[in-house]
Chains A and B, each alone.
Chain A
Amino acid sequence: MAIEINVPRLGWSSEDGIFAGWLKQPGERVVSGEPLFALESDKVTMEVEALDSGILRPLEGGPAAGALVVVGQVIGYLAAEGEQVAEIASAAAAAEPAAGETAAARPTPASPRARARAKSLGIELAAVSPAPGGRRIVEEDVLRAAAALPKPAAVPVEAPSVAARGRRVIAARLEESFRTPHFYVQADVNATALARLREELLPVLLERDGVRLSVNDLLIKAAALALRARPEVNRYWRDGESVPWETAHIGLAVQTEENLLVPVIRDADQLGVGAIARTRQTIVDKSRAGRLQAGDSEGASLTISNLGAFGVDRFQAILNPPQSLIIAVGRMAKRPVVEGDAVVARLTLPLSVSVDHRVIDGVAAARFLEALVQTLEAPLRLLL
């Protein structure tokens, strides 16, 4: 009798995965413990080992590589020597009504009160199970699951704070973002001219506008100009297709006491650096004061995240959906650089651009980075 090959659960909460192909040929002899097929979940691709031995008989009309499969689904059989596929198919057909596939996929019922409580606590019902002998999840089960979560404080019985809800939004967005296919292009900018320009403009703008010009302000302007120079990257993924941004708004990652916020400097390509500095000062203040409005964080083509002030040399950032670019800025410092045949000390600014590969290919990303670097290394263009 042929043995079913089922889709296993990857991790404790997955309900489905992507079938990534057989690792054995149909008809090939498989020994228990050998890698049998590949399965992808959100996080990883895993080689699933055979639990039994036999001749691999993939299910007729079963999943092709890249197809979505649900946990428990039968995708093939390990047959005995000489056992016919037709027999397997008919055996499977006979067995089908008894198979518990749908039952396995159906979530445990939960009372309305338990659902409401889980929602208010931000707990996935899939992570809650009824008490022993129970048929449905009740409020008590949710509270028990909440208490079991690794949290420093006691279980919040009251509604979560605004900050906690904000954190939940961030978590969900990052989780979504992390599933988009990223790649990274990186360069160290020669920051000598940039630093000099900032030094020269600093007192002027302080005197004129009362704001302290920061390197970020210059980066914002430079990024906006680079977007305009390379419109092929000023796009994003929406409902299964790549669509252009009409604008060149730039987001700036701001860490507040409780949350990560990304307020937006609108039309940065058309603003002078002084205006950018003033706007940046305003939105950062608003962010810290918790007074950002709904529209203040929307519409940016890309985000600039600068951890240089915290001594980070270089890092890679996760995209901020729906944007397809984020620039991770490291510490501006003198670093050894090879010039001709000599090693010299030079002020550099490490940039790492994370890219959504669904929208932008490698060469386009490289050209964008090139435009950005050129502008920053000859920064008088920022004043044009």
Chain B
Amino acid sequence: MSITTIYRTMQLIRVAEEQLARCYARQLIHGACHTYVGQEAIAAGVCLHLRADDAVFSTHRGHGHALAKGLPVEELFAELFGRATGCSRGRGGSMHLFAPEIGLMGTSGIVGPSILQATGAGYAFRLAKTDRVGVAFFGDGATNNGAFHEGLNLASIWKLPVLFVCENNQFATEVPFQAAAGNPDVAARAFGYGMPGVQVDGNDAWAVAEAAREAVERARAGQGPTLIECLTYRTRPHSEGMGDYTYRTREEVEEWRRRCPIQRLRAAHPERAAEFDRIDEEVAASVAAASKGAEAAPWPTADEATTHVYAPARVVREPAGGPGSGREISLVAATLEALDEQMRDDASIFVLGEGIGVRGGNFGTTAGLFAKYGAERLRDTPIAERGFTGLACGAAMVGGRPVVDFMFIDFLNDAFGEIVNQIAKMQYMSSGRLKMPVLLRGCIGIGHAAATHHSGSYYSLYSHIPGLRVVVPSSPYDAKGLFTHALRCQDPVLFLEPRELMAVKGPVPAASYEIPFGVARVVQAGGQLTVVAVGAMVPKAVAAAGELAGEGLSVEVIDPRTIAPLDVETILASVEKTGRLLIAEETFAQCNLGAEIAAQVASRGFDFLDAPIRRVTGAAAPTPYSPPLEAAVVPSQAALADAMRQLIRER
């Protein structure tokens, strides 16, 4: 039975790929087409032992994995043809196949993330106390990528239920693996991570299947991950239409064609020839029908091009009472309270970070939670930002709700690709079938001689990316409500806490409440000038406005609270009243939030303006250490007050 299944899967992949190559030549495929011809035994052998609820994360060469995991062949064709009935609704093509309903969590155009995401799925499966496994398919090229190192290490530390399946086809695109690896024995590297490593003939389906069976059994039994290296060869070009004989010889390709995994299985089972012949006929008919059906399938319509960038928003209201005047706690205590409440109510929430376990976080962001929720939910990590951010991505894709505590947001930039290319795009690329409730938090801002790697803000950079929510609270009350909302929403959120305000206390209701994203706070009403201030600049702006009030000048201060989405309406309404707009930020000017606000107001509120829009910003330089140097790159309260006065008087 297993032999039959493996044979059918391999034959389906082979015939489908050959038909796709024809369709590429007929220009039915609009972009790249990376075929899996020659490697069929690996997908067929591994997937033989997977259930529909196991999660597969794959690569740019993922057609075979998709079909082996059970993707209807017509959905594959329709996707490459760019049709609405494609598995990714025409959003992905060859490199971005999504069918989470059958455990095909996604194939990726970036080398490496599949390793981290499978690790994350394993983490979430463990946390949910299931025996599901995560499987990463990747090529030999990925083993030289940092994701391989970080992912295997993380999976090994926590003995996660993960299969790392390396398809060593001997070329990373066109670069020979021999020329790219100091130690070209991939399986042997497993030893370095403290996990079993197995090398198999990747063109022997049964050998692959046996190795996979053992690895899956280990994973389900809680014994941890396995690295399986499958030696194989792709016998078609890297991508259809590309030349093939510059970096390898025709003879070599012919030699590997003779080692065809399908013919080998046939040769090993001459008694099944008639059965295999019948399967060949069925497969040929089904692929022909799928190709024809996909060609007749409808195109997606332009109005679908921007849907599912975010999950449908939950409609919540900020409580009418506001912060009130009761108990006062610090900003960091406010988010801790919110995190505690939500962890109590939602078992899928877990926190990753350096020193957030027993220690309770560098800033006390998780103080006391380890004792309540244990090590699995308050997970101290190695210093591997890309690794644990990619892990968080994979965990969210299978239903987990990770909170990644970066301590200082500067560290987040080491995970840039995982955030921007993976986390931010996943809901869109899966047409909303995946939800990405990932909360990425860390402190921002300049002060206390923290110097350049502990002083960044970066909210403008990340708010440029569709799919991300970016929050910068400036008061304990806002912080608790926004943090609670972040933990209940389905979108990835960057929660950036101004470090200079983390210890500042303010009134916070003890009961749980939410503050929705995209609603600015008018911190102080005034009539002659609108000041939009962010983070640590909010209290500075309020203090400067106080100075001006003594001079008879009236300033309105607005805190956007969330950078994405941005509440332009509140800013416009204020500028309509005052006619003058100043934007105060600690970060440098070029392409910052202020530039965006200025563009929006100039466009939509042109007739409100009685003077040019002006910005107060930090200096365009990395943040220096020495106090006089540090002070010189940050706008002071006095500078802010001066800018306010000048703008009010500008004629």
Does more than half of chain B's interface fall in helix, strand or loop, or is it mixed?
loop
- Encoded as 1 (CB less than 8 Å from any A CB) or 0, chain B from 605 to 625 comes to 011111100000000000000
Is residue B456 contacting chain A, with contact meaning CB distance below 8 A? no
Q: Which of A35-91 contact B (CB under 8 A)?
A: none
- Chain A residues with CB under 8 Å of B607's CB are 112-113, 115-116
Q: State the CA gap A115–B608 with chains docked (Å).
A: 10
Q: State the CA gap A91–B3 with chains docked (Å).
A: 103
- Chain B residues with CB under 8 Å of A136's CB are 651
- Chain B residues with CB under 8 Å of A140's CB are 610
Q: State the CA gap A140–B608 with chains docked (Å).
A: 13
Q: State the CA gap A116–B609 with chains docked (Å).
A: 9
Contact for B651 among A112, A113, A116, A135, CB less than 8 A: A135
Is residue A131 contacting chain B, with contact meaning CB distance below 8 A? yes
Q: Which residue of the partner chain B has the closest CB to A141?
A: B651
- Encoded as 1 (CB less than 8 Å from any A CB) or 0, chain B from 564 to 577 comes to 00000000000000
Q: State the CA gap A152–B609 with chains docked (Å).
A: 30
Q: Are A134 and B608 in contact (CB under 8 A)?
A: no
Q: Are B651 and A134 in contact (CB under 8 A)?
A: yes
Most chain B beta carbons < 10 A, residue from A111, A115, A116, A134: A111
- Encoded as 1 (CB less than 8 Å from any B CB) or 0, chain A from 22 to 35 comes to 00000000000000
- Chain B residues with CB under 8 Å of A116's CB are 607-608
Q: Which residue of the partner chain A has the closest CB to B605?
A: A112
- Chain A residues with CB under 8 Å of B610's CB are 111-114, 138-140
Q: Which residue of the partner chain A has the closest CB to B609?
A: A112
Is residue A166 contacting chain B, with contact meaning CB distance below 8 A? no
Is residue A130 contacting chain B, with contact meaning CB distance below 8 A? yes
Return A117 CB to nearest CB of chain B, in Å: 9
- Chain A residues with CB under 8 Å of B611's CB are 111, 138
Most chain A beta carbons < 10 A, residue from B579, B609, B610, B611: B610
Return B508 CB to nearest CB of chain A, in Å: 39
Q: Which residue of the partner chain B has the closest CB to A142?
A: B610
Return B156 CB to nearest CB of chain A, in Å: 63
- Chain B residues with CB under 8 Å of A138's CB are 579, 610-611, 651
Q: Which of B606-651 contact A (CB under 8 A)?
A: 606-611, 651
Q: Are B579 and A131 in contact (CB under 8 A)?
A: no
Q: Are B651 and A131 in contact (CB under 8 A)?
A: yes
Q: Which residue of the partner chain B has the closest CB to A136?
A: B651
Q: Which residue of the partner chain A has the closest CB to B578?
A: A113
- Chain B residues with CB under 8 Å of A112's CB are 606-610
Q: Are B579 and A130 in contact (CB under 8 A)?
A: no
Q: Which residue of the partner chain A has the closest CB to B602?
A: A112
- Chain A residues with CB under 8 Å of B606's CB are 112
Q: State the CA gap A114–B611 with chains docked (Å).
A: 9
- Chain B residues with CB under 8 Å of A134's CB are 651
Chain B interface, number of residues (Cβ within 8 angstroms):
8
Is residue A240 contacting chain B, with contact meaning CB distance below 8 A? no
Is residue A311 contacting chain B, with contact meaning CB distance below 8 A? no
Is residue A133 contacting chain B, with contact meaning CB distance below 8 A? yes
Q: Which residue of the partner chain B has the closest CB to A113?
A: B610
Most chain B beta carbons < 10 A, residue from A112, A114, A135: A112
Q: Which residue of the partner chain B has the closest CB to A130?
A: B651
Contact for B608 among A113, A130, A131, A133, CB less than 8 A: A113
Q: State the CA gap A136–B580 with chains docked (Å).
A: 14
Q: State the CA gap A111–B606 with chains docked (Å).
A: 9
Q: Which of A130-154 contact B (CB under 8 A)?
A: 130-131, 133-136, 138-140
Return B371 CB to nearest CB of chain A, in Å: 59
Return A130 CB to nearest CB of chain B, in Å: 6
- Chain A residues with CB under 8 Å of B579's CB are 111, 113, 138-139
Q: Which of A104-126 contact B (CB under 8 A)?
A: 111-116
Q: Which of B299-325 contact A (CB under 8 A)?
A: none
Most chain A beta carbons < 10 A, residue from B579, B606, B608, B651: B651
- Chain B residues with CB under 8 Å of A115's CB are 607
Q: State the CA gap A136–B610 with chains docked (Å).
A: 9
Q: State the CA gap A219–B611 with chains docked (Å).
A: 58
Q: State the CA gap A247–B131 with chains docked (Å).
A: 91
Q: Which of B544-579 contact A (CB under 8 A)?
A: 579
Return B135 CB to nearest CB of chain A, in Å: 60
Return B601 CB to nearest CB of chain A, in Å: 11
Q: Which of B578-617 contact A (CB under 8 A)?
A: 579, 606-611
Return B651 CB to nearest CB of chain A, in Å: 3
- Chain A residues with CB under 8 Å of B609's CB are 111-113
Q: Which residue of the partner chain A has the closest CB to B651?
A: A134
Q: State the CA gap A177–B609 with chains docked (Å).
A: 36
- Chain A residues with CB under 8 Å of B651's CB are 130-131, 133-136, 138
Q: State the CA gap A135–B650 with chains docked (Å).
A: 9
Q: State the CA gap A114–B608 with chains docked (Å).
A: 8
Q: State the CA gap A47–B422 with chains docked (Å).
A: 80
Return A131 CB to nearest CB of chain B, in Å: 6
Q: State the CA gap A111–B581 with chains docked (Å).
A: 13
Q: Which of B421-447 contact A (CB under 8 A)?
A: none
Q: State the CA gap A1–B609 with chains docked (Å).
A: 49
Return B226 CB to nearest CB of chain A, in Å: 67
Return B245 CB to nearest CB of chain A, in Å: 65
Q: State the CA gap A134–B651 with chains docked (Å).
A: 5
Q: State the CA gap A115–B610 with chains docked (Å).
A: 9
Q: Which residue of the partner chain A has the closest CB to B611?
A: A111
Q: State the CA gap A136–B612 with chains docked (Å).
A: 11
Q: State the CA gap A135–B651 with chains docked (Å).
A: 6
- Chain B residues with CB under 8 Å of A111's CB are 579, 609-611
- Chain A residues with CB under 8 Å of B608's CB are 112-113, 116
Q: State the CA gap A136–B579 with chains docked (Å).
A: 14
- Chain B residues with CB under 8 Å of A133's CB are 651
Return A112 CB to nearest CB of chain B, in Å: 5
Return A58 CB to nearest CB of chain B, in Å: 42
Q: State the CA gap A131–B650 with chains docked (Å).
A: 11
Q: Which residue of the partner chain A has the closest CB to B610?
A: A113
- Encoded as 1 (CB less than 8 Å from any B CB) or 0, chain A from 286 to 311 comes to 00000000000000000000000000
Return B418 CB to nearest CB of chain A, in Å: 44
Q: State the CA gap A138–B647 with chains docked (Å).
A: 12
Return B573 CB to nearest CB of chain A, in Å: 15
Return B67 CB to nearest CB of chain A, in Å: 60
- Chain B residues with CB under 8 Å of A114's CB are 610
Most chain B beta carbons < 10 A, residue from A130, A133, A134, A138: A138
Return B576 CB to nearest CB of chain A, in Å: 9
Q: State the CA gap A131–B607 with chains docked (Å).
A: 20
Q: State the CA gap A139–B650 with chains docked (Å).
A: 12
Q: State the CA gap A115–B607 with chains docked (Å).
A: 8
Q: Which residue of the partner chain B has the closest CB to A116?
A: B607
Return B94 CB to nearest CB of chain A, in Å: 50
Q: State the CA gap A249–B32 with chains docked (Å).
A: 72
Q: State the CA gap A93–B647 with chains docked (Å).
A: 42
Q: State the CA gap A279–B453 with chains docked (Å).
A: 85
Return A225 CB to nearest CB of chain B, in Å: 52
Return A121 CB to nearest CB of chain B, in Å: 13
Q: State the CA gap A133–B651 with chains docked (Å).
A: 8
Q: Which residue of the partner chain A has the closest CB to B608?
A: A113
Q: State the CA gap A136–B608 with chains docked (Å).
A: 15
Q: State the CA gap A217–B637 with chains docked (Å).
A: 78
Q: Which residue of the partner chain B has the closest CB to A139?
A: B610
Return B613 CB to nearest CB of chain A, in Å: 11
Return B134 CB to nearest CB of chain A, in Å: 57
- Chain B residues with CB under 8 Å of A131's CB are 651
Q: State the CA gap A361–B314 with chains docked (Å).
A: 77
Given contacts A111-B579, A131-B651, 5 further A-B contacts (CB under 8 A): A112-B610, A113-B579, A115-B607, A130-B651, A138-B651
Listed by A's residue number, 25 A-B pairs whose Cβ atoms lie within 8 Å are: A111-B609, A111-B610, A111-B611, A112-B606, A112-B607, A112-B608, A112-B609, A112-B610, A113-B609, A113-B610, A114-B610, A115-B607, A116-B607, A116-B608, A131-B651, A133-B651, A134-B651, A135-B651, A136-B651, A138-B579, A138-B610, A138-B611, A138-B651, A139-B610, A140-B610
**Which 8 pairs between the two chains have the least Cβ-Cβ distance?**
A134-B651, A116-B607, A113-B610, A111-B610, A138-B610, A112-B606, A112-B609, A113-B579
